[in-house]
C-alpha cells in the first residue's frame, strides 16, 4: 500500500488529526485535499496540544513532506498565523521552504471579503452555522470562475485584476447584507506582504504528489470535515462547500483514482455535529451533555459546543458506500465508559413502519430504530489490544463491524498517540 486516503465518516471531528499523526510515523508525504481553515485537527503529543487548520496533521514529523493540494481554499493570513505559531513552538524550522511544506499554486485564496460575506450571512435568516472562515464564498468564486488561484500571486497586476472583478460581483451582495465592500487597494495592501511569503512555497503539487505515489512512497491523503458535510453526498444544504469524501482526494490533488490503494473511514463511537442541519440520533438530554463534557465536544475552530447523539449505523453504512471504505478506525470509545446502557441506531422507519434509508436531506417523518447494548464502567485508556478491553466494549466494536460489514482496523481510546489499539498496519499489503 502506498496511497492511503483518510476521511471522516460522519459530520467531522472524528479524530482525523490524531489518526493521521500516528500513521505519519511511516509516511513520506501527507496531503490535504479539500476544505480550508474551517478544519480543526487536534494533535496531542505528551502534554502538548496542537490544533492545525490548513497545515496537514503530519507536520510534527520532520521527515514527512506536507502538501496543501489544489482542492483547498487557503487564507494566506491564517496560514501564516499557523506557521508562525508552529515555528514559535519549535515545531517548524524558522527558514521554511517548499521541501517541508508545499502549497498548490492552483488552490484558491480566501480573501478578507469572503470572510466578511460568510460572517454577515451567518447573522441573517439563512444562517447554516458555518465556521465564518470565508470558505463558502471562496468556493463560490472558484466555481463562478472569478476566484484567485494562489499562482496568480506571482503577478500582482494579474491579482489586482482578478480581485477587482470579484469585488464588482460581490459589492451588491455585501451592500444587501448591510456591509461595505473594501477597495481593491485595501485588499492589495493586505495581500502584498502575504504574497511575498507565500510565493516561495507554491508549486505544481499535483506533479509532486503523483510522482511520490508512482515512486511507491507512502502517501497519506488527509480528509477534512466528513462525508455527511460533503457538498454532493452530505446533508445538503447543511454541508460545507467542498468534496469531503474519498473522491475529493483525487479531484483535490490531481492523483487518479486507479492510484489509490486504500480508503480509511474514521468514525466516533457516538455522533456529533457542529452547526445546523438534520441529526436524527441527537440527544438533547443529560446523556447528550455527558457525552459533550466527557468527550470535550467543543469545536476546535470556533469553540462552539458540539451537538451530540448516539451512533448512527445507517449513516455509517452510507459513508461506507459513498466512500468505498476498505476499513474503519473507531475513535473515542473511552468516552462511552460509565454511560450505562448504550443505544445504537440500526435502522430508520417511516410512520407506517416501513424501512427507510438514512435520511440524508430531511429527517422529518423518519424515526431512528435503536438497539440497546450493555455499557461498561472500566476506563479504556490503557488498553493496547482488543483483549485489554472489557467484554462489553469488545462487543460494541464487534457489533459495529458486523452491522456495517467493514473491518475496524484501529480503535482509539484517548487523545494521546499511545492510547491506540492498532490492529492492522495501514500501509500493509
Ligand atoms: P478532527 O477534526 O477529525 O481532526 O477531530 P478534532 O481534533 O476536531 O476533534 C477530535 C477531538 O477528540 C480532539 O480534541 C482529539 O484530541 C480528541 N480525540 C481523538 N481521539 C480520541 C479518543 O480516542 N478519545 C478521546 N477521549 N479523545 C480523542
Ligand atoms: P474538521 O476537519 C466539523 C461545518 C460547520 C457548518 C458547515 C459549513 O475539523 O472535521 P463552513 O465553514 O465549512 O462553510 O461550514 O460545516 N464544518 C465542520 N464541522 N468539523 C469540521 O472540520 C468542519 N468544517 C466545517 O460547522 O455546519
Ligand atoms: Mg475538527
Any ligand 2 atom below 6 A from CB of 137: no
Residue 193 pLDDT > 80: yes
Distance CA 407, CA 339 (A): 25
C-alpha cell at 71: 482542492
Ligand closest to the CA atom of residue 34: 2
Distance CA 373, CA 90 (A): 46
Catalytic residue positions?
13, 41
Is the whole model's pTM more than 0.95, yes or no? yes
Note the Cα 332 to chain centre separation in Å.
16
Residue 157 pLDDT > 90: yes
- Give the pLDDT of residue 238: 96
Cell 464564498 identifies what position? Answer: 137
- Give the pLDDT of residue 359: 82
- Give the pLDDT of residue 99: 84
Distance CA 81, CA 275 (A): 25
Ligand closest to the CA atom of residue 235: 2
Is 335:294 a contact under the CB 8 Å cutoff? yes
- Give the pLDDT of residue 365: 84
206-248 pLDDT per residue, tens: 999 999 999 999 999 999 999 999 999 999 999 999 999 999 9
Residue 330 pLDDT > 90: yes
Any ligand 2 atom below 6 A from CB of 151: no
Cα–Cα–Cα angle for 255, 261, 262, rounded to 5 degrees: 110
Ligand 3 centroid to 11 CA: how many Å? 10
Any ligand 1 atom below 6 A from CB of 414: yes
335-354 pLDDT per residue, tens: 999 999 999 999 999 989 99
Helix, strand, coil proportions of the chain in percent (round to 5)?
A: 35, 20, 45
Any ligand 1 atom below 6 A from CB of 343: no
Residue 96 pLDDT > 90: no
Average pLDDT for 124-130: 91
- Give the pLDDT of residue 286: 96
Query: Which candidate, 310, 321, 303, places its Cα nearest to that of 263?
Result: 321
Residue 289 pLDDT > 80: yes
Ligand 2 centroid to 115 CA: how many Å? 15
Sequence-separated (6 or more) residues with CB below 8 Å from residue 146: 162, 165, 166, 169
Confidence class for position 261, pLDDT limits 50, 70, 90: very high
- Give the pLDDT of residue 161: 98
Ligand 2 centroid to 12 CA: how many Å? 7
Confidence class for position 301, pLDDT limits 50, 70, 90: confident
Average pLDDT for 129-137: 97
The DSSP code for 173 is H
* Ligand 2 atom nearest to CA at 275: 27
- Give the pLDDT of residue 429: 77
Residue 95 pLDDT > 90: no
Confidence class for position 300, pLDDT limits 50, 70, 90: confident
% of the chain beyond a pLDDT of 90 = 91
Is 83:96 a contact under the CB 8 Å cutoff? yes
Residue 39 pLDDT > 90: yes
Any ligand 2 atom below 6 A from CB of 40: yes
Query: Which candidate, 212, 209, 206, 211, places its Cα nearest to that of 254?
Result: 206
Amino acid at each position: 500500500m502506498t496511497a492511503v486516503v483518510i476521511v471522516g465518516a460522519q459530520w467531522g471531528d472524528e479524530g482525523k488529526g490524531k489518526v493521521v499523526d500516528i500513521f505519519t510515523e511511516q509516511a513520506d508525504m501527507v496531503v490535504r485535499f479539500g476544505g480550508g481553515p474551517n478544519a480543526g485537527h487536534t494533535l496531542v503529543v505528551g502534554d502538548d496540544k496542537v490544533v492545525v487548520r490548513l497545515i496537514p496533521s503530519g507536520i510534527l514529523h520532520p521527515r514527512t513532506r506536507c502538501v496543501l493540494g489544489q482542492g483547498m481554499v487557503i487564507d494566506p493570513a491564517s496560514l501564516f498565523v499557523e506557521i508562525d505559531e508552529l515555528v514559535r513552538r519549535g515545531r517548524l524550522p524558522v527558514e521554511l521552504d517548499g521541501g517541508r511544506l508545499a502549497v498548490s499554486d492552483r488552490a484558491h485564496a480566501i480573501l478578507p471579503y469572503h470572510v466578511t460575506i460568510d460572517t454577515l450571512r451567518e447573522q441573517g435568516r439563512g444562517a447554516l452555522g458555518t465556521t465564518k472562515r470565508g470558505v463558502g464564498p471562496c468556493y463560490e468564486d472558484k466555481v463562478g470562475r472569478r476566484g484567485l488561484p494562489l499562482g496568480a500571486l506571482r503577478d500582482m497586476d494579474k491579482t489586482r485584476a482578478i480581485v477587482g472583478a470579484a469585488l464588482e460581483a460581490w459589492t451588491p451582495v455585501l451592500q444587501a447584507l448591510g456591509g461595505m465592500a473594501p477597495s481593491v487597494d485595501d485588499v492589495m495592501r493586505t495581500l502584498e506582504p502575504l504574497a511575498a511569503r507565500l510565493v516561495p512555497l507554491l508549486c505544481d503539487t499535483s506533479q509532486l504528489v503523483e510522482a511520490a505515489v508512482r515512486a511507491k512512497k507512502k502517501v497519506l491523503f488527509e480528509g477534512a470535515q466528513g462525508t455527511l458535510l460533503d457538498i454532493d453526498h452530505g446533508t445538503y444544504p447543511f454541508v460545507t462547500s467542498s468534496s469531503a469524501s474519498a473522491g475529493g482526494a483525487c479531484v483535490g490533488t490531481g492523483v487518479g483514482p486507479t492510484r489509490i490503494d486504500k480508503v480509511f473511514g474514521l468514525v466516533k463511537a457516538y455522533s456529533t455535529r457542529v452547526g445546523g442541519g438534520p441529526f436524527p440520533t441527537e440527544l438533547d438530554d443529560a446523556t447528550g451533555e455527558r457525552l459533550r463534557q466527557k468527550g470535550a465536544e467543543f469545536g476546535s475552530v470556533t469553540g462552539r459546543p458540539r451537538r451530540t447523539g448516539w451512533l448512527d449505523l445507517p449513516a455509517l453504512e452510507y459513508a461506507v458506500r459513498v466512500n468505498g471504505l476498505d476499513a474503519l478506525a473507531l475513535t473515542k470509545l473511552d468516552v462511552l465508559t460509565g454511560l450505562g446502557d448504550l443505544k445504537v441506531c440500526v435502522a430508520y422507519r417511516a410512520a407506517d413502519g416501513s424501512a427507510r434509508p438514512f435520511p440524508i436531506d430531511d429527517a422529518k417523518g423518519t424515526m431512528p430504530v435503536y438497539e440497546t447494548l450493555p455499557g461498561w464502567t472500566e476506563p479504556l485508556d490503557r488498553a493496547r489490544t482488543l483483549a485489554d478491553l472489557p467484554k462489553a466494549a469488545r462487543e460494541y466494536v464487534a457489533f459495529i463491524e458486523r452491522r456495517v460489514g467493514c473491518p475496524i482496523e484501529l480503535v482509539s481510546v484517548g487523545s494521546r498517540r499511545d492510547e491506540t489499539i492498532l490492529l492492522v498496519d495501514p500501509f500493509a499489503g
